[in-house]
């Protein structure tokens, strides 16, 4: 890159003025555009999902292709700017937002191409699940993704991916067949079963550690309608309804995915939302009958509907509240743990805030564990404490509640946590634990190969093995 290096302090103080020449050069070198603080779109572009994170980069490079990404990476390193990568902006740790550095923003790279006959989708680095599902469902096809449409396809996939079709088709990353990445050195590389297979293994769970993904390729499955929706329970029955949810997931096959969210309303009445997604041939499956007859049912919206409607059940606003999440993959959801979590939910003393239960039964257990870096395939559930609030004065109380509640889950943990839901304050050991020692060592070797200087460290970081 032709840009002259300049000291970090000058860049930090305002790259725009101190290095206007370099910035102009960056603008000329990109097909996409460059935003700085004086640009009208800067504010919206810098924001992430979690309002707890409030950072202002020096420059946002909105890339249009892999060459743009290489130029932005080169510019950042030549100017000693810290790099962050933004796909859908959903990561609760706010890794896509940095103070002073350069954000590679992929929000203008959202094309999704579908090869119906080959049952393949190629998705650009900034596509969201809304983009992806719209394109694949237009062809009656699907891959298991996230449950909120505005979440980024790449961020979610590289961390694993749990959603409405996990039991049917495994983690999202189990359906990842290939990727195009730009490494921090500016090389455009491919990962697939034939080309750099070790990298493909690492991308299945290892996050955005090895390069900026400009394209991911997915296996697709035929699917149009599902028997799904939401069931709501309230009051004293919630305890037994949550046990029923656990038992149903324990015996369900690969045709039913199911997740549940525990919360309280403003009167501190416990609420439970259960979201089943059944894709089998039965019009009235036994598992749904069991859920419907659990105590406390106050609302039943389960029906035959399109998969796109299923994907719209949970659609929170973007960047509207403060969030702190912490959780564990558990080997079982015991009665004792359910009772404890219920009383901790009530003890929070006010809405919002929730505890999410994602069942990992079905296909995740059938996939050969050697095909992916992630290490939580054996868990029964992913249990996540999700504090969310509006008032900054409540930061300390909410964070303490999430930490203490997560600590109560720990005795049932299989180790580590879900990288996709981790905050930035998680110790390296929790990241290591999400993979296991052997896989983590392999990931560190991959990191040393593709990003030896740890340029891409704004993530659940895997430090390079030196
Ligand atoms: C409301 C909400 C709902 C969610 N629902 C689910 C769910 O149903 N299932 C689930 O498994 N997870 C879910 N998540 C978690 C989500 O998977 C992670 O937060 C994920 O990191 C989000 O990806 P993103 O691209 O939107 O986020 P970003 O904040 O933009 O990116 C997060 C990180 O991903 C990496 N990354 C993103 N794009 C690229 C790229 N193109 N190349 C390289 N690295 C990249 C970077 O390291 C970046 O720091 C949810 C999160 C939220 C806030």
- The reported pLDDT for the residue numbered 271 is 98
Ligand 1 nearest-atom number relative to CA 456: 47
Strand partners, 257: 277
155, 183, 207, 314: residue to mutate for ligand 1 pocket, most atoms within 8 A of CB? 155
The residue to mutate among 87, 163, 329, 418, having the most atoms of ligand 1 within 8 angstroms of its beta carbon, is 87
Ligand 1 closest atom vs CA 163? 8
Chain segment 431-445, per-residue pLDDT in tens: 999 999 999 999 999
How far is ligand 1, taken at its centre, from the CA of residue 248, in Å?
A: 29
Tokens 């002073």 belong to: 100
Please state the pTM of the whole predicted model. Answer: 0.95
pLDDT at 415: 87
Mean pLDDT value of segment 393-404? 97
* Residues with a CB atom less than 6 Å from ligand 1: 48-49, 85-92, 95-96, 106, 125, 146-148, 151-152, 154-156, 158-163, 207-208, 212-213, 316, 420-421, 458-459
**Arithmetic mean of pLDDT, 334-354:** 96
Q: Look up residue 280 and give its two tokens.
A: 């089998």
**Token representation of residue 313:** 């059940």
Q: 21: pLDDT confidence band, cut at 50, 70 and 90?
A: confident
Query: In this model, does residue 256 exceed pLDDT 60?
Result: yes
Tell me the CA–centroid distance for residue 289 and ligand 1, in Å: 34
Q: pLDDT, tens digit, for every residue of 55-76?
A: 999 999 999 999 999 999 999 9
pLDDT at 315: 81
Angle at 32 between CA 151 and CA 115, to 5 degrees: 55
Instruction: Identify the residue whose C-alpha is closest to ligand 1 atom 47.
Output: 208
Per-residue pLDDT at 19? 72
Please tell me the distance between residue 296's alpha carbon and the centre of ligand 1 in angstroms. Answer: 34
Reported confidence tier of residue 13, pLDDT bands at 50, 70, 90: very low
> Is residue 5 very low, low, confident or very high in pLDDT (cuts 50, 70, 90)?
very low
| CA-based nearest residue to 348, from 397, 408, 393, 392 | 397
Q: What pLDDT is recorded for position 317? A: 79
Q: How far apart are CA 201 and CA 442, in angstroms?
A: 10
Which strand (E) or helix (H) includes residue 212?
Answer: strand 212-219
Helices 395-409 and 335-347: crossing angle, nearest 10°?
A: 170
Kindly give the number of the ligand 1 atom that is closest to the alpha carbon of 128.
Answer: 26
Q: Which structure tokens are listed for 39? A: 């640009």
Mean confidence (pLDDT) of the chain? 94
- Is the pLDDT at 10 greater than 50, yes or no? no
Q: What is the pLDDT of residue 320?
A: 86
Q: If you average pLDDT over residues 373-380, what whole number do you get?
A: 95
């Amino acid at each position: 890159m032709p840009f002259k290096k300049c000291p970090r302090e000058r860049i930090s103080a305002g790259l725009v003025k101190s290095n206007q020449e370099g910035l102009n050069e960056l603008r000329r070198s990109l097909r996409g555009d460059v935003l700085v603080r004086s640009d009208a779109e800067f504010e919206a572009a810098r924001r992430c999902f979690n309002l707890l994170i409030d950072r202002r980069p020096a420059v946002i490079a909105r890339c249009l292709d892999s060459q743009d990404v290489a130029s932005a990476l080169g510019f950042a390193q030549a100017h000693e700017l810290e790099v962050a990568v933004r796909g859908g902006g959903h990561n609760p740790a706010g890794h896509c937002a940095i103070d002073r550095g350069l954000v590679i923003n992929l929000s203008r790279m959202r094309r999704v191409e579908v090869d119906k006959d080959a049952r393949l989708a190629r998705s650009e680095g900034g596509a969201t699940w809304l983009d992806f599902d719209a394109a694949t469902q237009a062809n009656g096809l699907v891959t298991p993704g996230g449950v909120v449409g505005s979440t980024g396809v790449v961020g979610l996939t590289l961390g694993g991916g749990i959603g409405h079709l996990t039991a049917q088709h495994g983690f999202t990353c189990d359906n990842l067949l290939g990727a195009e990445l730009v490494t921090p050195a500016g090389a455009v590389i491919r990962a697939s079963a034939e080309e750099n297979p070790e990298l493909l293994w690492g991308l299945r769970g290892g996050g955005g550690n090895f390069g900026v993904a400009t394209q991911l390729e997915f296996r697709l499955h035929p699917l149009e309608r599902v028997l799904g929706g939401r069931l709501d329970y309230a009051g004293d029955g919630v305890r037994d309804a949550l046990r029923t949810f656990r038992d149903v997931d324990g015996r369900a096959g690969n045709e039913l995915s199911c997740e549940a969210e525990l919360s309280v309303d403003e009167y501190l009445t416990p609420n439970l939302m259960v979201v089943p997604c059944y894709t089998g041939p039965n019009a009235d499956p036994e598992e749904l009958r069991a859920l419907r007859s659990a105590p406390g049912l106050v609302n039943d919206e389960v029906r035959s509907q399109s998969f796109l409607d299923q994907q719209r059940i949970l659609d929170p606003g973007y960047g509207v509240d403060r969030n702190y999440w912490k959780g564990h993959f558990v080997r079982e959801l015991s009665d004792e743990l359910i009772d404890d979590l219920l009383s901790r939910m009530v003890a929070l003393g006010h809405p919002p805030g929730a505890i999410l239960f994602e069942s990992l039964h079905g296909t995740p257990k059938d996939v050969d564990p050697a095909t992916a870096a992630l290490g939580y395939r054996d868990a029964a559930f992913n249990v996540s404490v999700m504090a969310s609030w509006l008032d900054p004065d409540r930061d300390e109380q909410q964070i303490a509640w999430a930490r203490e509640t997560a600590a109560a889950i720990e005795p049932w943990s299989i180790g580590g946590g879900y990288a996709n839901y981790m905050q930035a304050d998680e110790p390296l050991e929790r990241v290591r634990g999400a993979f296991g020692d052997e896989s983590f060592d392999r990931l560190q070797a991959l990191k040393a190969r593709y990003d030896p200087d740890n340029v891409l460290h704004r993530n659940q970081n895997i430090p390079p093995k030196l």
